[in-house]
Amino acid sequence: MVSSVASPVALEAQALDSSLSVLRINGAIVIRPRNVRSTPPNADPLTAREMEVLALVAEGCSNNLIAAHLNICERTVKNHLTFIMTKLRASDRTHSVVTAVRLGWLAI
């Protein structure tokens, strides 16, 4: 049976012909779009509390640990994260941290 999965060399050639770029990281091939703005140009600023939550997310804290550290309930942490992701147009908490770092709002 012939495999329908292209070889890494074929994928690399195909990616180079299109608008994709190819990166080699620790032996793996990573393909991503070229010339894509990864940070929103007009992101809304975060409140001081949202920055505290985001900094703790960047440290790897769970919602439960963030809630305990800031003396708030876990639902409030989730609400802050929802607002953060909306303002930064991020798809998840990790994307939020990466976006904040790229904007210079957060240092890790």
Answer yes or no: is 28 within a domain: yes
Query: Are 27 and 55 contained in the same domain?
Result: no
Overall pTM surpassing 0.75 (yes/no) = no
Report pLDDT digits (tens) over 71-89. 999 999 999 999 999 999 8
Instruction: Give the Cβ contact number of residue 68 at 10 Å.
Output: 14
In this structure, the answer to whether residues 97 and 52 fall within a common structural domain is: yes
Domain count, the chain: 2
Beta-bridge partners for 58: none
Q: Which residues of 12-28 are buried (b: 16+ CB within 10 A; e: fewer)?
A: beebeeeeeeeeeeeee
Farthest-apart Cα atoms in the chain, separation: 60
The reply to whether 23 and 64 lie within a common domain is no
Residue numbers of the domain that contains 4: 1-36
Query: Which residue would you say has higher pLDDT here, 37 or 108?
Result: 108
Phi, psi of 25 (to 5 degrees): -125, 115
Amino acid at 57: V
Residue 89 lies in a domain: yes
pLDDT greater than 50 at residue 39:
no
Please report whether residue 53 resides in a domain.
yes
Q: Is residue 63 part of a domain?
A: yes
